[in-house]
Amino acid sequence: MRLTRAALMPAEDPTIMTLFIQQLFNGLALGGVYCLAAIGLTLVFGVLRIPNLAHGALYMLGAYITYFFLTTVGVPYIAAIGIAAIMLFIVGVGLERLVFHPLRNSPHTHHMIAAVGAMFFFQALAQAIWGADFRRMDTPITGELRILGAEISAQRIVIIVTAVIVLALLALFIKRSIHGQTIEAIEQDRVGASLVGINPSMVSMLTLGLSALLATIAAGLVAPINLLSPTMGDALNLKVFAIIILGGLGSLPGAIVGGFALAIAETMTATYISSAVGEAVAFIVLVAVLAIKPNGLFTKAVQR
């Protein structure tokens, strides 16, 4: 008995390290996806002050449109994501115009009901067009990278890198461009922003369009390692809401930190405790944070 254990020890040490690295990268990739999806949602909350419950459905629709262009039309992967993102931007603008804009002066519950309605509409639409079966989207990005002994698939590296690039571009857009600055202005003070000549309804359209665009990039990136189905947005919806509440509603850094924190917490608990706990950890962390900081980690200075 003692002999076997002694023989096993040297073999086990690198395995523990490899497993950790493997799971760290898995967590980072998942975090990238969560982040991209969460940022859109938090932007919409900041500008329109509504929880867009149809966000997961936009993510799903983005995945299907990417799939359509990649598989049915046959354009290259990156271009397919790009075209889908632009189309979803238009869908987002349309959603604002047709659903949220007419309800702008009604009580908040109406927005939520309308968003749920939009969600069911998108799901039924996807099922009518693509059917209820799962679909698989293949990418040209194959192969594995060996990092410190762990096998990481190239797709996951692409997810992490793209997420970082997109987040950087987004930060640049919001901080440096006129259109981006109007988003931040409206977030900080809607009335004040209108007084200096910013058109709130233009900004609302831009924001919803942008959030759908970001969700599509997330969906296009994650689709190859998962499956497409009309209900694929449901699970993400729940987690993304947990993330933005954790990070502080409307806060961009909150969504980024929250996204990565939650994803890594999820993979690590699933690895070292159990999968069941991994699934629940998002909500355990959420409850814990809210108990200590009821407004989330990154509370906005101005809350209106």
Partner 1 sequence: MNSVSRSRRRRLSAAAVLGAIALTATACGGGGGSGEGDTVVIGYTGPLSGGGAAYGENVKIGLEMAIDDLNADGVEVDGNPVTLELKSLDDKYAPSTAASNAQRLADQDKAPVVVSPNAGAIKAIQQINSGRSNFLISAYTSDPAIVQADNPLTMMIPPNFESYAEEFSETAMEHGGKKLALLGTQSEYGQQWTKSIKDAWSEAGGKIGGDNSVDYATVSDFAGPVSKALSEKPDAIFVGGPSQPTALIMEEARKQGFKGSFLVMDQAKLDEMATVTKLDNLKNSVGVLPVSEYEDPGTEDFLKKFAEKAGEKKVPTSETALNYQGIAIIAKAMEAAGTTDDPEKIREAISEALPEVDDKYKVNGFPDEITEQGHLLNPNLEATFLNEDGKYTKVPIEQVSDDK
Q: Which residues bind partner 1 (CB under 8 A)?
A: 15, 19, 22-23, 26-27, 29-30, 33, 123-124, 127, 131-134, 136, 144, 151, 153, 156, 222, 225-227, 229-231, 234-236, 266-267, 270-271, 274-276, 278-279
Least CB distance to partner 1 at residue 94 (A): 23
Q: How far is the CB of 301 from partner 1 (least distance, A)?
A: 33
Would you put residue 199 in left (φ > 0), alpha (ψ -120 to 50) or beta? beta
For partner 1, the closer of residues 32 and 247 by Cβ is 32
- CB-based burial, 115-125: b 16+ in 10 Å, e otherwise: beebbeebbee
**Closest CB to partner 1 among residues 167, 223:** 223
Closest approach, Cβ 222 to partner 1, in A, equals 6
Work out how close the CB of 244 gets to partner 1 at its nearest, in angstroms, rounded to a whole number: 17
- Pick the closer one to partner 1 by CB: 22 or 251: 22
Residue 298's contacts (CB-CB under 8 Å, 6 or more residues apart) are 247, 248, 251, 253, 254, 257
Kindly calculate the radius of gyration of the chain based on its CA atoms and give it in whole angstroms.
21
Burial 145-179 (b: 16+ CB within 10 A, else e): eeeeebebbebbbbbbebbeebbeebeeebeeeee
Phi and psi at residue 150, in whole multiples of 5°?
Answer: -95, 145
Q: Which is nearer to partner 1, 113 or 273 (CB)?
A: 273
Q: Which is nearer to partner 1, 193 or 232 (CB)?
A: 232
Closest CB 10 distance from partner 1, rounded Å: 15
Locus of tokens 């690295």:
21
